A = this chain, B = another copy of it.
Amino acid sequence: MAKTNAGRFFEDYSVGDTLTHAVPRTVGAGERALYHALYPARHALYSSDTFAQASGLAASPLDDMIAFHTVFGKTVPDVSLNAVANLGYAEGRWLKPVWPGDTLTSASEVIGVKQNSNGKSGVVYVRTTGRNQQGEAVLDYVRWVMVRKGNLDAPAPETVIPDLAKVVPAGTLAIPEGLTFQNYDFDQAGEPHRWGDYEIGEQINHVDGVTIEEAEHMMATRLWQNTAKVHFDTSARPDGTRLIYGGHVISMARALSFNGLANAQMVVGLNAGAHANPCLAGDTVRAWSEVLDKAETSAPGVGAIRLRLVATKGGAPFKLRGEDGKYLPEVLLDLDYWALMPI
């Protein structure tokens, strides 16, 4: 009996299947420090217990992206080991803060399958839920990936394409219990701009850039126990390069967006996301944002802002697609998310 995991192929997924992902992971002060070492993360709520406490929380939670990467990483051996491409995200909601000491597990339900017309691959849709040691859901999102068939003779399954919301409705965003921005200290947070200062359609160039190193993206990717070969093994791709985990670009861009969006403190919704082009070591990552929408929330002093976050490896800011409607070659990431901000 072969002992190693060859990964699942397209024909191994059926709508309704539940995938229990290994390995449970306790996260804490160490992951938090590494996050600050790997990304220029400065959002005050995730940097300081005192700032978080003044915002009504028990302590500084772990960065929302630590939650995302930890939950996502576990899905890789079951979902994307034989994936050709990570196609999209939808309906993502952060449901509870992750506290130092929490243990996260991850499970996915297959909610859609569609074989490609070439008969060699297909698209699999999964809804993934991350839970803490109390069994409480902390994160929930849908992603879909293109997966190779292992057996080309396997019959095509009945096509099921889930009906996914284009945008998480603002009213369904989960606000952490007790959160208030009524005592918000803008000096300590780093910028004076409040929710009311941002206009829908406004674009922000985050200015700063970071040139990416192999050691850093590998450390990050391993930290989330993401095992996809292409990130680590120069022999896994014909050109000898290591493809950088798309989540590394998400975290880098989100951290760079501090400069101009320092008060977009908490990420609470993931509406959509595309890894437009591959990122390789040596690329200098920059970011710009666009305000897509704004909404009020029930929490005191807290507004929601919907942002497009674009990471690039060159080119001018605010350019996303060419005349053909395709992403420009220098665009790495196009992410659509909701954040919480002091009103």
Q: What sequence of 0s and 1s flags, for each residue 16-27 of chain A, a beta carbon within 8 Å of any chain B beta carbon?
A: 000010111110
By the criterion CB–CB under 8 Å, are A209 and B193 in contact?
no
Contacts of A300 in B (CB 8 A): none
Task: For A50, give the chain B residue with the smallest CB separation.
Answer: B103
By the criterion CB–CB under 8 Å, are B225 and A103 in contact?
no
Which of these, B39, B103, B227, contacts A40 with CB under 8 Å? B227
User: Interface with B: A168-176, A254-262, A267-275, A332-340, which one?
Assistant: A254-262
A228-269 contacts to B (CB < 8 Å): 229, 232-236, 242, 259-262
By the criterion CB–CB under 8 Å, are B33 and A223 in contact?
yes
- State whether A24 and B40 are in contact (beta carbons under 8 Å apart), knowing that A197-B1, A209-B229, A260-B3 are contacts in the complex: no
Which of these, B30, B36, B207, B235, contacts A222 with CB under 8 Å? B36
Contacts of A190 in B (CB 8 A): 5, 22-23, 77
Q: State in angstroms the CA–CA spacing of A284 and B233 once bound together.
A: 7
**Can you list 27 A-B contacts (CB < 8 A)?**
A4-B259, A4-B260, A5-B259, A22-B188, A22-B262, A24-B47, A24-B50, A24-B51, A24-B188, A26-B47, A29-B33, A30-B31, A30-B32, A34-B34, A34-B37, A37-B219, A49-B101, A77-B190, A208-B229, A209-B232, A209-B235, A210-B233, A211-B232, A211-B234, A214-B215, A216-B219, A235-B284
The answer to whether the Cβ of A105 comes within 8 Å of any Cβ in the partner chain is yes
By the criterion CB–CB under 8 Å, are A36 and B225 in contact?
yes
Which of these, B33, B207, B220, B242, contacts A28 with CB under 8 Å? B33
By the criterion CB–CB under 8 Å, are A40 and B222 in contact?
yes
Chain A residues within 8 Å of B, Cβ to Cβ = 1, 3-5, 20, 22-26, 28-34, 36-44, 47-51, 60, 77, 100-101, 103, 105, 133, 187-191, 193, 197, 204-211, 213-216, 218-220, 222-223, 225, 227, 229, 232-236, 242, 259-262, 284
Task: For A105, give the chain B residue with the smallest CB separation.
Answer: B188
By the criterion CB–CB under 8 Å, are A3 and B191 in contact?
yes
Task: For A208, give the chain B residue with the smallest CB separation.
Answer: B229
**Chain A facing B: main interface SS:** mixed
By the criterion CB–CB under 8 Å, are A22 and B187 in contact?
yes
Copies in the complex: 3
By the criterion CB–CB under 8 Å, are B216 and A218 in contact?
yes
Q: State in angstroms the CA–CA spacing of A77 and B259 once bound together.
A: 10
Q: State in angstroms the CA–CA spacing of A51 and B4 once bound together.
A: 22
Contacts of A229 in B (CB 8 A): 208-209
Contacts of A1 in B (CB 8 A): 193, 197
- State whether A42 and B23 are in contact (beta carbons under 8 Å apart), knowing that A210-B232, A233-B208 are contacts in the complex: yes
Q: State in angstroms the CA–CA spacing of A259 and B101 once bound together.
A: 26
Q: State in angstroms the CA–CA spacing of A115 and B235 once bound together.
A: 44
By the criterion CB–CB under 8 Å, are B218 and A236 in contact?
no
Contacts of A197 in B (CB 8 A): 1, 3
Which of these, B191, B227, B284, contacts A234 with CB under 8 Å? B284
Task: For A4, give the chain B residue with the smallest CB separation.
Answer: B260
> In the complex, what's the smallest C-beta–C-beta distance from A138 to chain B, in angstroms?
14
Contacts of A3 in B (CB 8 A): 191, 193, 197, 204, 260-261
Q: State in angstroms the CA–CA spacing of A30 and B41 once bound together.
A: 15
Task: For A216, give the chain B residue with the smallest CB separation.
Answer: B215
